[in-house]
Amino acid sequence: MDAREHQDFKKEKERLEFTKNYIEIVLEAAEKSKSDYQGNIKQALVDLDYLDSSLSYVNVLANANMLQTTEKDLRNLRSIQNRPYFARIDFTPKDQSQEEKLYIGKTSLYKKDTREPVIVDWRSPIANVYYEGQLGDVSYEANGETLEGELSLKRQYVIEDNQLEEIRDIDLTARDQILQESLTTSASNRLKEIVSTIQAEQNRIIRADMDKPLIVQGVAGSGKTTIALHRMAYFIYTYAENFDPQQLMILAPNRLFLDYISDVLPELGVDQVTQTTFTDYVQGALGQSLNFISKDQKLIQLIENEESRELQWVSHFKGSLDFYHLLTEYMEYLIQDWIPSEDMKLERYTVFSAKKMKQLFFEEYTYLPPFKRLEKLKEMVKKQVKSKTTEIIEKVEEVYDRQIDKARYGIRDEEKRSQKTVALWDRKEAHVKKLEKEAKKLVPTFVRKMPKGDAFLYYQRLITQPKVVQQVAKNYLNKEEQKVFLEWNKQNKQEGKLDLEDAAPILYIQQAIYGIEKKWMFKNVFIDEAQDYSLFEFEVLKKACGTSLFTILGDLSQGIHSYRGINNWEDVTEYIFPKATYLTLKQSYRSTVEIMEVANKLMQLQPYKGMILAEPVVRHDKAPEAMAYSDSKGAITKIIQQIHEMKGENYQSFAIIGKTTEDCERIYRSIEELDPKLEAALLKEDEENYHHDVVIVPSYLSKGLEFDVVFIMTMDKAFEETELDIKLLYVAMTRGLHRLNVYYDQMYPGIMKKIF
């Protein structure tokens, strides 16, 4: 209700005033202390010039740290200055009579003297009561303890520019009005934070046990991406003391998507986390750039039906755990002759026995990856050569000395004696020199024989050399399959490219043989659009990152890459993350009831059962319309006209989704010709932004994005009733928040006839 009409308006207004003033005082104080720190640093730097004192260096560091915290606090406080909190709870802890009135906001603020909270952070344990609790008895966890109490008030505020606009008390029956309003607003080109409207099922995911892997199946628009980012923010807050945000990594499907989420990260204070795509991660960890065919390029081939049977089979095999086991065997095969089979000798003396080397390499050093073992062994060889050479030379010298003594005391004739001893001396000297020379060659010879390949080369050898394939793949592929496999890879090699599915095995070889550099290892990994990953990819990420603490979010209904990815979550839990918690999100927040009805109707045409259908939050707009056209230019003219009309109705973001890139290019060219003033952009996979009036995007690339109004337009290649096409169309349909209109060629209606 309008804040002014609420019975507590006066008190709430005073409270807001107080908070506003308090923030101002804190900000002023912080500004002052900031300039003090800056002064201190300046002084310390001056001292550093003429004092050789590590103390002043420490001083610089200490103040720089202080400055950093202050800067961070300042930033946080400034960001909430106009809207310090969004909710209040009244909570009475069990066995206490004093009720606490807690105001919840995006960051916490305490009174300096009493430590009484002015604002409670939304991530704090007690705030859980706001997201989860209904009025009455409630409980929450803090520091491993369950705390109980009574929740007597749950209140929401709409505050704009520090003015209290609305106050809403939530009782058992009230619908979440603020959520409704938040969903009605237009989609900008960016994802937004939702701290004030997080729903209970989402809250459970955000706060789910951080010490266990988490798998989330969530329908389209259920907030998976949003929640992933909020869970990161929660994680960083909860473990602030002993956790560096850089130890978190989020893997997104492409760079376009990273750009889409980029604004919300700093808002949530999680901008320091590593954000990348799977292939960029692999190339980073390898320190090498490789030419992968993107999964979208592959999908285009699939949609266009070129070579599709082999493509699906090879991609599927390369993503399977069978291939993973094959790789494991291959690496054993590969390293078996890394250790020489003959002893390292200096003349007839053994410097390092092959048996000892084998024992070190295959037994003692197995805690290291093989290449590191070799390096360790090299160091060992160096030391051994040094000490053994001295030992051997001493032995040889002893033999000569004995002979010299024998000559000295056994030959009576002086001349003969002298000749003999001199000859022996010369021989001794020459022999020692020879030994020294030979000894010098031992380490370089050993090093020369060390394997010179790298992960990529070893992998190429495995997938393109018939002898290796025959030897290693015989337990996994029959002769015919081996042939297809080899030919496929040979073709790729000739074209200088790699399948996307090659990324995981190359990373596996890197990890298993060379090890992964520390900066590419993480404590916690988040994967969005995880339905597109294969079991092999999950497994290798777990190994390379050195953790099993993954948060995996995906939607099988949108699994347009399921020919290479997964078809169910059970396999992921069974084979990769046996300890994972599995949670689902059924509510969809993005699209209207009308759009979701059509999308669900489409989903039910899937050949297999058991798909979780989305339940939209009750929000209405015009029902989707479908139009069969006979002339594509005419249809595009109509779309342009509708865009102009809807812009007048306050819809802001528009997308035209085509089935293929080719269709999108045709649409784009037509728009340029028909309405050059309309700012249109054709989206590509590696695009980093899409700030335009209208974007034209192929169905497979639209995944994860959202727009106020979506037009779907097909040409001579209709969406058909196949698993892939149904999923592609489902993804396209569920991108719209408010309106969806479909245009298809009347000669090629495909599946549209069944749903409209």
Ligand X SMILES: Nc1ncnc2c1ncn2[C@@H]1O[C@H](COP(=O)(O)OP(=O)(O)OP(=O)(O)O)[C@@H](O)[C@H]1O
Query: Which residues sit at the interface with ligand X, rule CB under 6 A?
Result: 179, 182-183, 192, 194, 197-199, 202, 218, 220-226, 555, 558, 589-590, 704, 706, 734
Q: How far is the CB of 701 from ligand X (least distance, A)?
A: 12
Separation of alpha carbons 421 and 400, rounded Å: 10
Given the complex with ligand X, which of 205 and 541 has the nearer CB atom?
205
Q: How far is the CB of 368 from ligand X (least distance, A)?
A: 41
Backbone angles phi, psi at 112, to 5 degrees: -60, -40
Count the residues in the chain. Answer: 756
Q: How far is the CB of 733 from ligand X (least distance, A)?
A: 10
Please write down the long-range contacts of 92-96, taking CB distance under 8 Å and 24 or more positions apart: 92/149, 92/150, 92/152, 93/147, 93/148, 93/149, 94/147, 94/148, 94/149, 94/150, 96/149
Given the complex with ligand X, which of 389 and 699 has the nearer CB atom?
699
Given the complex with ligand X, which of 338 and 550 has the nearer CB atom?
550
For residues 564 and 295, is the Cβ–Cβ distance under 8 A?
Answer: yes
List, in sequence order, the alpha helices (H) in 154-220. 177-184, 200-206
Given the complex with ligand X, which of 194 and 469 has the nearer CB atom?
194
Question: Nearest residue to ligand X, using CB?
Answer: 223
Q: What's the per-residue H, E or C state across 267-288?
A: HCCCCCCEEEEHHHHHHHHHCC
Q: How far is the CB of 229 from ligand X (least distance, A)?
A: 8
For residues 659 and 717, is the Cβ–Cβ distance under 8 A?
Answer: yes
Q: What is 126-148 written as a DSSP string?
A: GGHHHHHPPSEEEEEEETTEEEE
Given the complex with ligand X, which of 314 and 697 has the nearer CB atom?
697
Given the complex with ligand X, which of 185 and 305 has the nearer CB atom?
185
Separation of alpha carbons 558 and 299, rounded Å: 13
Given the complex with ligand X, which of 558 and 660 has the nearer CB atom?
558
For residues 290 and 498, is the Cβ–Cβ distance under 8 A?
Answer: yes
Given the complex with ligand X, which of 227 and 393 has the nearer CB atom?
227
Residue ranges for the binding site for ATP?
218-225
Q: How far is the CB of 169 from ligand X (least distance, A)?
A: 19
Strands, E assignment, 574-651: 581-585, 587-588, 615-616, 625-629
Given the complex with ligand X, which of 178 and 473 has the nearer CB atom?
178
Q: How far is the CB of 203 from ligand X (least distance, A)?
A: 9
Q: How far is the CB of 176 from ligand X (least distance, A)?
A: 9
DSSP-assigned letter for residue 292: B
Task: Name, in order, each residue with C-beta under 8 angstroms of 128's C-beta and a sequence gap of 6 or more.
Answer: 140, 141, 203, 207
Backbone angles phi, psi at 710, to 5 degrees: -120, 130
Separation of alpha carbons 190 and 225, rounded Å: 12
Separation of alpha carbons 231 and 204, rounded Å: 10
Closest CA to 251 of 542, 509, 516, 506: 542
Separation of alpha carbons 210 and 18, rounded Å: 36
Residue ranges for the binding site?
218-225
Q: How far is the CB of 195 from ligand X (least distance, A)?
A: 9
Task: Name, in order, each residue with C-beta under 8 angstroms of 95's C-beta and a sequence gap of 6 or more.
Answer: none
Q: How far is the CB of 232 from ligand X (least distance, A)?
A: 13
